Copies of this chain bind each other. A is one copy, B any other.
Amino acid sequence: MKIISTVNLKTLLDDLKSEFSDHDWIERSSLDDLTEDDLKTVEVLIAYDSELDVTQMPKLKWLVWYAAGVNRLQLQYMKEHGIILTNAKGIHKIQIAEFIFAYIMADYKHLDEFHELQQTRSYKTNIRTTELFESVICFLGTGEIAVRAARLAQAFGMKTIGINTDGRSIEHFDETVQLADRETAFREADIIVNVLPETEQTTELLTMNDFKAMGDSALFINVGRGTVVNESVLIAALTNRVIRKAALDVYYDEPLDSSHPLYELDNVIMTPHITGLSRRYNERATEILKQNMRMGIDNSDKFVNLVDYDKGY
């Protein structure tokens, strides 16, 4: 097969070439660098740039998506044309779970304040930090990222609550609640973490009533998708101290414009959609690709991380 990678795989590509040497491996630095011939002949494409237009690739059999979210891809077209789609789901859990605790530490341990003290050479010992121990953390979504973060939370002695569609029990959650009853969980929680993917059901799911339930001592962390809440609602909740603070890695429209009103607020921690990144990201995504290559495209129904076009994940 003619396999083109638009992801810079470095030595990982050498590994692939050597293990799967009966295929034709080509590397391009980006989608823009694909030639007319590439577009016409590519059978397997490795990519994670959502500008991708698969309708230009008549021979495409398999899109190896090196990101998790597939909601911006041409799912209907791919379904109709039988183009296999696999994604990188599951390789974000380690780094995102860790970053959830980075946000919590930044907030609970007043790291900015101590940094400021150090800069001003001030030795003030009257800052009282907050303990994670015995606090309550609630995850909106109970997928792999939430499970890993919940396991860490339990190690810290926190109580963990998971919210999913039907309230089914999941390991590492002390309690699970169905989505319809989420306000009860929000009321109890000190920290609420959104890890939901973007789907029709999750778009603008959270309303002002949800933030009211979280309450004015709550820290809201969003490492899922920015579209889970209409940003004007979130900004109102923060401005009016309906919730205490937010830590955001994702936004309704990315990249964020420098004039965005979120930048005006003093009770938000912002990172530029980086919690899923890792120095070992490509290594892990390539591991999934290798597993599927070993299975062979004729067994694509058994592929790891096969995306269901209709569910959208």
Taking Cβ atoms with an 8 Å cutoff, the residues of A that contact B are: 94-95, 98-99, 101-102, 105-106, 108-109, 111-112, 114-115, 117-118, 121-125, 127-133, 151-152, 155-157, 255-256, 258-260, 263, 269-274, 277-280
Contact = CB atoms under 8 A, between A and B. Distances in A.
A34 to B, nearest CB: 23
Given A117-B271, A118-B269, 12 more contacts: A94-B157, A99-B109, A102-B106, A118-B263, A121-B263, A123-B272, A125-B255, A125-B277, A129-B277, A129-B278, A151-B155, A152-B152
A160 to B, nearest CB: 13
Contacts of A115: 112, 115, 269
B111 A273 contact: no
A124 B99 CA distance: 17
B157 A155 contact: no
A172 B130 CA distance: 25
A98 B133 contact: yes
Nearest to A98: B132
A98 B111 CA distance: 13
A98 B156 CA distance: 8
Contact of A111 (B94, B102, B124, B259): B102
Contacts of A117: 270-272
30 contacts: A94-B131, A95-B131, A95-B133, A98-B105, A98-B133, A99-B109, A102-B109, A102-B111, A105-B105, A106-B111, A111-B111, A112-B115, A114-B272, A114-B274, A115-B115, A117-B270, A117-B271, A118-B263, A118-B269, A118-B270, A118-B271, A123-B256, A123-B272, A125-B255, A127-B274, A129-B278, A131-B279, A131-B280, A151-B155, A155-B155
